[in-house]
Structure 1
Amino acid sequence: MSRPSRISRRAILRGVGATIALPWMEAMAPAAGLGGPSGAAPVAPKRMAFFYVPNGVHMQDWKPKDEGAGYNLPWILEPLASVKDDLLVLSGLEQHNGQALGDGPGDHARSLSSFLTGAHPYKTDGANIKVGISVDQMAAVHIGGRTRLPSLELGIERGGQSGNCDSGYSCAYSSNISWRSATTPMAKEVNPRFVFDRLFSGRGKTGTAAERQKRELYERSILDYVLEDAQSLRGRIGLNDRRKMDEYLTSVREIEQRIAKAETPVQLDGGVARPSGVPKDYAEHVRLMFELIALAFQTDTTRICTFMFANEGSSRPYPFLDVPEGHHDLSHHGGDAKKHAKIRKINRFHIEEFGRLLTRLKSIREGDQSVLDNSMIVYGSGIGDGDRHNHDDLPVLFAGKGGGSIKTGRHVVYKPEPLNNLYLSMLDKMGVPCDRIGDSTGKLGKLDG
């Protein structure tokens, strides 16, 4: 029997009008004398991602009572029990530039636009928006060229890019977490189909629509187009890699089917069909996006991602949680116990979905490590308590070990310290030169124990 051949970490499956990147496999380890000892695993890439929830959280059920490794997860964070050892709960971090600083009302717009930029937005509802470059785009400038997609910006709600959305602040501030420059936001994609196409066929919504329509006409999967290349590769890799490739391609196909199901046309009166576009079910929408993020990281299609559960100030109801009221209205709870109970339900639901993603990333192996081990993932909000609109002691989670440079499994409490210090540390671990973000005072301590 012939020995499995070595393949490049950049290997892809090709077909007519379609390409699919491959996950890490044993056959990608360098051969003896070719960059490392025989059988040695290649150095896995580090990833960074940022997940944002609007309107703050119910801090009483968020912040652990004890510090260090012996802390207990509060009620909202309980769904993260299986990945607790991969987490840091970070308390005491603040975003000074989310405050009014003389600009009056508009905390929602400021909380989102400053969250990753560390900058104070210029108050305008016109075209002269200005805030700052966000940490994800700082990284994309330096390492984005190493992957097919420099970064990936995703969300659930589109939101406007102009007009007044919050007390004289442009809607762009409430709808965008990622900023390529001080005046240029990176609009997020909310349609799973378009994200799928960008990841696996390289077309996206502005690409070759005719090719996608042809495939849909014949009800063919994108996998059909790379089948021949996949079969050829199977003959050149070992048994473990065949199993891993089969599992990966199966997951791609399952997502493709879920997207197709979500896009099933809705029949209107008079026999006119209207495509639904994105899943009607909010939870399924989030889960699809998270599966796509996992696959994007698994295949090293990108190493940088942002995701927004909703726009800042969102009044989305959550009827499937028995919460028919809008999230934003509830966040102005005024101490009402019934509103508190509903807010914590929303918060816990978001954490449940986030935990599902972390578990997925932990299950994807890269040699002796996992994709989660090699990631740095921030989850949080630019507002602490939704009623107070405070920007200090923010709810912030950190997941992943950054390739082994971070000691997780702890609740770390800081005396008031800029959130931007965390970002400086993350950029440093990604190999991105940066001296300052917003009001940062230096790299964040205690991350390595």
Structure 2
Amino acid sequence: MLSPDDVFAAAQDEIAYAYERMPFFRRHMEDAGVRPGDIGRPGDLPRIPPTDKTWYRKGFPGGVLTEGVTLSDPRLRHLSSSGTADERLLTVEWNALWVKRCLDACKVHPGIRRGLRAERHCYYIPASCAEASCAGPAAHAPHANPESAQDRGASAPADAGRPRPVAGGLMLPAFHDLLATDERMVDESLRALERFRPSLYMVSPAHLAFLARRMSERGFHPPAAPILATYSLCGILARRQILAAFPAETAFSEVVGMSELGFLAAECPRGGLHLNSEAFLCELRTGGRAAEPGELAELVVTTIDGGCSPHVRYRTGDAYRLVAKPCPCGHGSPLVRMEGRIRNLLMRKGRAVLTPRELDETVGDCDWLRLYKMEQTGEEAFSFSYIPAEGRADRAPELAQRLKERLGTDVRLSLRSVEYLPAARSGKFMECESRVAAEGLRL
């Protein structure tokens, strides 16, 4: 494992490399009046203004690729973000480096890492993520996006409505709007799983929870393999529903990643989430300074491997808290709590009152819920919609009381039982969304 000094030295090299080889970043530093030689210690890093996806979107390809890189190079992995909040971000990276970042993150969980290396992966993910280029480390050959329409319940093209092989694995089909996925797709997916017998499930937690509920209804026993849950926050309900359908000894890891970077953090067997300090210099920033343990902060990362599109002090848009105590697993990488996307924080009077993770913990493992969604529609207006579990007593008044204790007793909170909850524009299912915490919000 790299020491903090080694990581900083590698970041210094990355800054110099990006300054010399990437036109956008050279202009970025010159505009700030900073040169690579000015960054002599970790405390100097904030002299470089943070970058974000808007810079890379506007500069792609010529401004954000290192000189000499051509998009036709077969060693490149072509990547695009899911477009959950805005238009997609297109980028590329050397495939070998991107895969190494993912494997480095999973060093904290040997079972998951072995499954990744075996390259027999089963993917069950949002339609917007279903290109093999952004599906996972094993999937490298280009495939078309199966999403063909934005309308509710619109299906993918006919050939994408069935399980299909991708490089290194099997892609299971789902409608763009997850809960509209029909029973034929489910049955074909389960038959394909029996034949394929994966080394690893790489999934959206909401998607696999949906499929796990169908497995339980059918009495289907899925092939045993580790589960890597990514693409969105993994809540308590989804985790419980997934693990109830799989063998008791199934290894499970929540992994945080970004399509343009790879895996940023991974959960160890003891349940601790560890930052990928093997592949990135990681900063947790709040109010223009380094965050103290327990403070809500944004993760800002710098690549350290000399890729074709370096990212220096790149804002992830994700909220974390640093955990001061060491993890019982013994791994030395920083231990954190991932709290969710900053744009999905529930806000009152300019401050976050509940993060998506805290909301999930407040809801808890309610066996009378199958799925839920909280929406903040105004400064003091919140709507909580839920799909109840069959045969269970509805305990919504108790939940409403818990939520008001966290949000404030004076808020307008409505709870309603529904039969259907829509997916986001990207096809991801988001349990917590806010119209108050704008995309540009910074911690």
Query: Do both share a fold (TM > 0.5)?
Result: no
TM-score normalised by structure 1 residue count: 0.29
Higher helix share: 1
TM-score normalised by structure 2 residue count: 0.29
Higher strand share: 2
**Which structure is richer in relative contact order (CA contacts within 8 A, separation 6 or more)?**
1
